[in-house]
Structure 1
C-alpha cells in the first residue's frame, strides 16, 4: 500500500481481512475462525460454490476445493514479488510490522483477499500464515517451468497495462497491441488473445477496465466509461507518445516521471521546508495537478490547507511559479496522449497550433515568454483524480 493505514482503515480490516485470533495452521481452522455467515459471504464474493446448509467444516472443505481449482490460473497473474513471498511462507509463519510490510508488498492484500494466506492479530502481533494444505497445493505447480514462463509473460502484460494507464489514462486496444508486438516478439498475441489475457488481469486490478465494445481500455480511477470517447476525442489531433521498453519498465511502477531535471529542481525547492515524507506527499500532489491539467490556484490552496505551505515572500512566489510552470511543460500528460507540452510545441511550426495545456513561463536563459492557457475543470464536474466527488469538493477547494 502506498499510503499509511489509518485507524479507520484498520478497523475495516479487523474481522474481515485481519483475523482476531491466535494463529492456526490448517486451512479449515483458518477459515472457520469466521462465522458461518461470513464464510458464505466470502465464498459468494469469490464466486465459489459451497454447500451453504452444511457445517462450517464442510463449507471450508468446499471452499478449499474451489481455491485449488482456480489458484494456478489466478496466481499466474501475480507479480514475482508475490510469488516470492508465498515461497518464503512455505518455510513457516511470518511475524510482520503491518504498515511497513504492506508498503513493501502492495499485492499482499490480493493474497489475503483470495485466502491463499491468512493474517492473524493476537497479543499485539501480526502473523502471516500459509495454511498447510495450501502449501502442499502450491508446491505442486509454483516451481514448474511452465508456470514460471506463464507468470513471466503475464507480469510483462501487467507492466504494460500499468504503464499505459499512467501514461495515457485511456487508449485504443489496437494501440496497446501494436506496442506489445513491438516490444515482446517472444510472446506473440492476436487481438482476441490479448483481450482474454487483459480481462483476466482486470480481475486483480481495479483500475483496468474496458468499454463495452472492447475498443478502448481505460483507467477506472480517472475516467468513467461514458467519458472515454470524449476524453480521447479531445486529444485526437495528437498521436500517442511511443513508449520505449525503458518507459514501460519505469511507468509500470511510477505514476509520474520523477527523473526529470525539472522535477528534481522543484523537489529541492521544497526540501528546504519539509521532512522527507511530507516532501513526497507534496510532490505527488503537484504532479497530480499537472498530470490532470488542474488549476494552479487550486493547488496553492491545497498546499496551504493540507501542508500549511504559504509563500510569504515575493521571491518564493516567483521561484515557485517559475519551477511549477517549467515542470508542467516538461511532464507527460494524459490529455496529450503521453507527450509533454514541450514535445508537442516542438512538433508545431506556428503558435496557433500549440496544444492548450502549455503554461506560459519565461525562459531564464533566453528571456522568451510562451503564452498559452491552462485547461480548467468545471466546479460541478467530477474531479478527474477519480475520488468520485465533485471538483469543487475535492481538488477544486
Structure 2
C-alpha cells in the first residue's frame, strides 16, 4: 500500500483527530485558522476548538486579490501565479500559528482549506443555457501540503456542484451536525461578504436548509474602499451612522428577482457589485445623494435582506437566532436586524463557538467527514447532497 494511503487510513482509525480549518472570505481581511479536535463523525460528532486566530493580510496582498475577484475579464497569468503563491502563503501562516500555540506539525492530522473564491457563477446568475452551476477557488493545496508536511483537503465546493448543487452555502452540513436541537427552531446567521443562514427546525431535526439571502458586508466594503480610500470597511459603522437612510434608494436596491427566488439559493459580489449600487441610484433618481447616506442605506439594505428572508422562511414560528461572521461587529447592522425581526440577536458564543471561527470550523468538519464519515443521509435530513467533499493532497 502506498505510504500516503497507509497514513490516511491510520488517521481515519484514530479515536480523535486534530484538523486545521482555513477560511478566507470575500472581505479579504485575513486567513481564519481554527485548530479543531474531532471525535466520531456524522451525528456522533464531538468537537472542541483548541485554538483560533485570524492572520491579517497586508494591503498589497488585499489589492492583488481585489484585482482578480468577481471580474469577468482578468489577467490569467496573475491567477496562475496567485494560485501557487496563496498555497505557500497559507502554509507559512499555519506554521507561524503552530509555533505561537506551542504545537508541531506532527500534532496535526489534516488541513481543510476552503481557498480564496475568485468567481461564483450559479446558472441563475450567468443564464447561459448550455452551462450549469460553477464556482472557482484558488490557493493550490499541493503547495500547502508540501510546505507544511500535512495532508490537505481542499476544493470542497466542486463535488456539491457536480451533483447538481450551487457549491454554496455549505454551512448546512456542519450546522446540522453540531447545532441541531430538539427543543428550539434555530437560525444560524452568518454575515460575511454575503449573508446566509441555516434553518434548523426543532423536533425531527429534518427539513433544515442553508441559503444565501443577499449582501452582508460586501456592498458596504466595496463602496467605502471606493469613496473613502485607505479604509477597507466601516469600523463600528462610524461613516454609515453619520448618514440617513434614503428610502427611494433602498426600495430600488431591494427590487431584484433574486429576492423572490425560492430557497435555497446562492449569490455573490458578481451580482452585488458597485454597478448594482450605481444602477439603483439611477433608477431611483438619487444621483445627488452623498456618500454617507449611501453607506447608511447600504447597511439598512443588508439588514432588510436578512430580515425579509428569515420572516419568509419562518412564517411566524418561534425561533432562536445565533449570529457569526464579520457583521457581528457592525453595531448599526445588528441593531437594524434586531428591530426588523423584533428578536434579540445572540452570537454563536452561546453555542460554544467563537463567531469569527465558525466558518473555518465548518470546513474542518467537512474534512473530518470526508475521511471518517459518509454514513449520514443528508438528503433525508437537510435536503442536501449526501456526498463526500474535499480533494486530497498528500505532502509527499
TM-score (norm 1): 0.26
> Which protein has the bigger strand share?
2
Bigger RCO of structures 1 and 2 (CA < 8 A, at least 6 apart): 2
